[in-house]
Amino acid sequence: MKKLVLEFSTQLQEALIIAKNYRFKTDKREFSNVVVTGLGGSGIGGSIVQNYVFDKMKLPMVVNKDYFLPAFVDKHSLLIVCSYSGNTEETLMAMQQAIKVKATVVCITSGGKVAQVADKKGLDCVLVPAGMPPRACLGYSLVQILNTLCHFDLIDNKFEKEIAASIKQLKADEKTIQKKAMALAKKIQGKLPIIYSAPAFEGVAIRFRQQINENSKMLCWHAVIPEMNHNELVGWRDDAKDKVVIILRNDDDYERTQTRMEINKKVIKKYASSIIEIYSEGKSYWERAFYLIHLTDWVSVDLADLRELDATEVKVIDFLKGSLAKS
């Protein structure tokens, strides 16, 4: 897993090349909505892209993480299917529903049944390299989602230059990022992490939570400011020395949100063991997002090392899938 984390910037480079070389079968057309369907490491790219397009794309975009699609999906919808293995049963079922209602379907996968169905139905299918854990392939899927939206003129291609700049930044800062990640992991070790962020970076916060879950084998939760100010903040009134709060921050977070973060710190510090603030680096959305993603990915694998666990192993998920296959 460490090797895969280390190669994140290289993966982003490869993803841009895959996107540039892919030739869509489907002509440009107008849509009424966009849905990305995918779960876990395959679906998190959709959540992060959803944050990115929030103030850029005129159409509503929904990220679906279920067997079933929203009732509004029809022939005027664009459905982006994300399943790294190509065999995710929830995603396959949603894909079949989209085909049935004649939605425009674009698949992003390394193969499996998704690729087989796409080939049979003549659907667009962007193939990415196979043989890795889905959570280690975020760069591949996320870039293809952006490229799909760009192909249909739903967003412009500005993201390409931003990601290229992100790659340079990550390569230049790699050693510093690794050193910082280990220091953060040592502060988190033995505690239950609670992650907070501004709304525009909720996808990044979810990614961090999922990496703590899968790589570090730890429970964790996340919430967004200001939403948690209207509910969760009230829960901070008992001793919580077994918990550490991590706030993902950006210098350009909305000023009122930053004010709320400062007030929240005053409340929370009375109860939590500590509060850790992680500031992003970079000028663009993608530079900041990928910096935080890469840094926190390292934190998750460093925590696995500190806990003397194999970050790659997910036996309980294998057990779940095996049990489902028998039922």
Catalytic sites, residue numbers: 214, 230, 321
Return the structure tokens found at 28.
């440009």
d(CA 287, CA 280): 8
Burial zone of 119 (CB within 10 Å; 0-12 exposed, 13-18 middle, 19+ buried): exposed
Return the structure tokens found at 9.
């910037």
List the strands of the sheet with 77-83, edge to edge: 61-64, 33-37, 77-83, 104-109, 124-127
Return the closest-CA partner of residue 219 out of 78, 321, 316, 110.
316
Query: In 250-302, where do the E strands start and end?
Result: 272-279
C-alpha Rg value of the chain to the nearest Å: 20
Return the structure tokens found at 150.
């760009």
d(CA 117, CA 108): 12
d(CA 69, CA 73): 7
d(CA 303, CA 147): 34
Q: What share of the chain is helix, strand, coil (3-state, %, to 5)?
A: 55, 15, 30
